[in-house]
Amino acid sequence: MKTVTLLRSLLLLSAALPAAALAQSLPAPAPAPAPETPASDTDGEIVVTGARLQAVREIEAKRKISVISDSISSDEIGTLPDFGLGEALQRVPGVSTIQNNARGEAQFLSIRGLNADYNLVQIDGVTLPANEIGRRNVSLDVIPSSLASRVEVYKSVTAAMNGNAIGGIANLRTRSAFDGNGKPFVGGRFDIGRYDFERTRGKETPSGQTELVASTTFGPEHKFGAVVSGSYFRRDSASLNSASDNYLYFDPTTGARLTSPANDVSNAFVAPDRRRWLHYDNVRQRYGVFGKLEFNDHKMFAAALTLADFRHTNDEERQSNLVVANTAVTAATNRYTNFSAVTASGGTVSNANAQVDLVNYYQTRRMRYADFHADLTPGDHIRADFGVNYAAATYRQDARLSTYRIANTNSLGYTYAITPGSFTYFNFAQPGYVAGASNYRQFEYGTNSDDNRETALTARGNIGVNMEADDRGFGVAAGGYARFLDRRYDFQVDNYRTNATSNYLLSAVLSPDSYMPYDGRGQALLLIDPDAARAAFDATRSGFTANPTNIGGSLQSDYTLTEDIYAGYAMMRYALDSARLSAGVRYEDTRLSTGSFALRGTTYTYGQQDQHYRNWLPSAQFDWDLTGKLRFRAAYSRTLGRPNYDDLAARETVNVNSSTGAISITSGNPTLKARRSDNYDLSLEYYVNRDILFSGALFQKDIANEIVTVRNQATELFDGTQQLVTRIRPVNTNASKVRGLELNAVVARMRFLPGPLDGLGFSANLTLLDPTPPSVTLADGVTRRRLSGLFESANTVANVKLFYTTGPLTLQSAWNHLSPILYSVSTSDPLGDRRYATSDLFDAQVRLIVNRHLTVVAQGKNLTNFRPQRLFGPGFGLLREEIDNGRAFYVGALVRY
């Protein structure tokens, strides 16, 4: 322990002591084009702006980066041309994103269709701590797009790169004051807009964003530089989740009850046993500030000190209306007592219960970091760099809930109409009863909070001799890396249930606002007034009793985690004019410690678990210029995929769903092994000219120790009673294999067409996966079954961006396609597996250059009003949830000086 403390202290001094610094390097960046003036075509007409400028820069970067890669670049004002960082990255070949609960901005990055946990997001080569509960991933919606001058996605890696990257690495390169020959620059954007799905409650305000980037050089010989940027983003909108969470199965001949997997239900009649609407009012805001102070003597030494602070808040009001059938079974006939006249298209339910509930969430995610980095070039063929980074990421969520119920009653009887794959409609015999607020009695009121903090101290550096892109002959490089991570998670719950004699009704706190779902067929949602609910609880607290599970609930989820990683690498390179070969090996030593509470009898006892594992990670890269326009690349690497933090803590979190009474227990697994993958890549790139690129790549990943989160349902003794309990736990499975094909075309301008058609341009890419998914062991502990797909991975990813420029006008449209994605796995019933349906998003943008300082921009998002769906059941033919986010429309301007 003393040794680790001493090392941490030394690392804090490493910025001033280059000899003590450890190292890690990334491919050398391509020179950034000057932002002051849009690039010119050969005929002298200034036309290269927006999407065309972005395409030209992507082609240039792909050619100059030493590994198999693709990128997204800033536009003429120094920011990404799409609405945000996640939206921009979706245009990169083989890249897709995972949205925040399918309702917000793009949150996590997927490279080549693979699970976001396979990939690494870095800023200037440094992995920052995660600002999300559970996962290692950095949430992209916290990072402003103004931060990045270019995002490079490395799909093959060298020994000098972080080994925790099975899918690849996305590196955000920040702007330098010395870009564009160090000339002063001020640029920015602002826009204002609205979502056509407006907030139902609260005062609606416009959505929009504003970004400002400024840089300059100063001092003797302009050796000093400064970059500052600031951004603000606001999204004011609503979403609706239409859910049928569960289905029952009936013998089509006898009407008897069938259960899966005990019975074959492939030809059974199905009936939903619940209908739920969840309406979300959201105000999302993001604040970001970034500053960099630089020194460059233009000879042999350059250094930069960077400070950044990003914050994302989400003020969310979730209103839920639920109706649940009484699923009692008549044992003598093995039939559902309250279901009758069940057919393939509908049926009748005579008895049901209902619930109206409210949860207010206020969530804050924050990322702060300080980074010092220096480059030393003492000779023509020698380069060294070193740096130290300290970062802190926090996540805080406070929730306040209020629940009202109607017990099982014949007054809630209904008929239903069902179409597989679509939302189910309920027609009540007494519609006034389900809509009567005075029929709902309060069940509970409470608060809970999540508090997560993660800090990371990282040091890196390297030294290379004859390793630069223009060097020829033999070269060598070596370096090291160290990262000390500390994570703390705390959960607090304060829940109260009404006493048996209490009779507090929904009618006393009903909101005057109303909302009619698009799929409601005339049925409106009952909405709770949050202020009235809180005031009513404060005034009648004596009518409530504290939930006895509060103490355990506030301990069972908590955990601590420390992870220390030490790494070193050595590389060799041999370069000719037309071919380059590099090979190396990386060594990573990981020391992990987790601590959590476990229930022993009636007492929660704190325990600690440790892991220590070592990995040798070899890699090799070869690229060959077959002609002046045709380049061949080949690569091999071994990489890791470390488990998520929540998965590693030996804790058990018990959740009793206040809506349905369903019991689920989520537990960690401190024995989880890191994934390990052997990666093989081949790439062929054809650079027709500076405007046109065609490329194709084949890849294969052999992944050992795959990690899958499994769900198992079984009847067990819980709280003194035999009850159906769902247990959710991550496990290592057997090996999986991923083969893939990636095709990419970028045409910045079709000069070969007659005017005005020569203003057309496009970029298009397609990634196809042929996976061999892993197998999981079923609840019997013996039987194994192969999953229907890779976890959280799409087998097909496609992007098409078409743009047209004529004079000062640019029109741009973009389409993004994802095939179905498996996101939940059951070990007790394969029909319990869940996946996202096929996704298709379409956006468009119009730009008009008023003058060299001002460009007007209008854009629309999700113009086809696509609604994400989550499916399960036989052949994934049953709709579990459909989420309506609506379209969005913005108008604004780009400015530059």
pLDDT tens by residue, 580-593:
999 999 999 999 99
Look at residue 728 in the predicted model and tell me its pLDDT. 80
Look at residue 141 in the predicted model and tell me its pLDDT. 82
Look at residue 104 in the predicted model and tell me its pLDDT. 62
Beta-sheet pairing, 821-826 with 707-718: parallel
- Decide if 264 is inside a domain: no
10: Cβ contacts below 8 Å, ≥ 6 apart: 17, 20
Q: What is the mean pLDDT of the chain?
A: 86
- Decide if 573 is inside a domain: yes
Look at residue 48 in the predicted model and tell me its pLDDT. 55
Residue pLDDT, tens place only, 781-791: 667 788 888 88
- Decide if 642 is inside a domain: yes
Residue pLDDT, tens place only, 193-208: 989 888 888 777 889 9
Check if the beta carbon of residue 289 is closer than 8 Å to that of residue 276: no
Least confident of 111-120, 241-250, 670-679: 111-120
Query: Is residue 657 pLDDT above 80, yes or no?
Result: no
Query: Is residue 4 pLDDT above 70, yes or no?
Result: no
Mean pLDDT computed over 829-853:
90
Least Cα distance to 218 among 176, 175, 177 occurs for 177
- Decide if 267 is inside a domain: no
- Decide if 509 is inside a domain: yes
Query: Is residue 30 pLDDT above 70, yes or no?
Result: no
Least Cα distance to 127 among 161, 150, 93, 154 occurs for 161
Check if the beta carbon of residue 897 is closer than 8 Å to that of residue 186: yes
pLDDT band at 12 (very low <50, low <70, confident <90, very high): very low
Least Cα distance to 163 among 459, 581, 567, 456 occurs for 567
- Decide if 262 is inside a domain: no
Least Cα distance to 495 among 403, 596, 363 occurs for 403
Check if the beta carbon of residue 482 is closer than 8 Å to that of residue 566: yes
Q: Which domain holds residue 850?
A: 2-256+283-896
- Decide if 263 is inside a domain: no
Query: Is residue 67 pLDDT above 60, yes or no?
Result: yes
Pair of tokens at residue 652: 């058990």
> How many CB atoms neighbour CB 546 within 10 A?
12
Residues in the chain: 897
Distance CA 743, CA 684 (A): 10
Measure the CA angle with vertex 426, ends 424 and 432; round to 5°.
150
Tell me, what CATH number does 311's domain have?
2.40.170.20
**Strands (DSSP E) along 219-256, which ranges?**
224-243, 247-250
Query: Is residue 747 pLDDT above 50, yes or no?
Result: yes
- Decide if 677 is inside a domain: yes
Distance CA 516, CA 636 (A): 56
484/60: higher pLDDT: 484
Mean pLDDT computed over 41-49:
45
Query: Is residue 711 pLDDT above 60, yes or no?
Result: yes
pLDDT band at 13 (very low <50, low <70, confident <90, very high): very low
Look at residue 514 in the predicted model and tell me its pLDDT. 84
Look at residue 6 in the predicted model and tell me its pLDDT. 40
Look at residue 887 in the predicted model and tell me its pLDDT. 92
Query: Which residues make beta-bridge pairs with 460?
Result: 387, 481
Query: Which residues make beta-bridge pairs with 858?
Result: 846, 891
Mean pLDDT computed over 356-371:
95
pLDDT band at 658 (very low <50, low <70, confident <90, very high): low
Query: Is residue 47 pLDDT above 50, yes or no?
Result: no
Look at residue 447 in the predicted model and tell me its pLDDT. 96
Number of domains comprising the chain: 1
Query: Is residue 525 pLDDT above 70, yes or no?
Result: yes
Look at residue 62 in the predicted model and tell me its pLDDT. 83
Check if the beta carbon of residue 466 is closer than 8 Å to that of residue 474: yes
User: Looking at this protein, which amino acid is placed at residue 870?
Assistant: R
Measure the CA angle with vertex 116, ends 731 and 104; round to 5°.
120
Look at residue 722 in the predicted model and tell me its pLDDT. 75
3-state helix, strand, coil in the chain (%, to 5): 10, 60, 30
Pair of tokens at residue 575: 């370069």
Check if the beta carbon of residue 405 is closer than 8 Å to that of residue 354: yes
- Whole-model pTM: value is 0.86
pLDDT band at 17 (very low <50, low <70, confident <90, very high): very low
Least confident of 7-11, 255-259, 530-534: 7-11
pLDDT band at 42 (very low <50, low <70, confident <90, very high): very low
Mean pLDDT computed over 752-771:
88
Query: Is residue 660 pLDDT above 70, yes or no?
Result: no
SS3 222: helix
Cα pseudo-dihedral 433, 435, 437, 441, rounded to 10: 60
Look at residue 80 in the predicted model and tell me its pLDDT. 53
Distance CA 206, CA 199 (A): 11
Query: Which residues make beta-bridge pairs with 106?
Result: 99
Query: Is residue 81 pLDDT above 70, yes or no?
Result: no
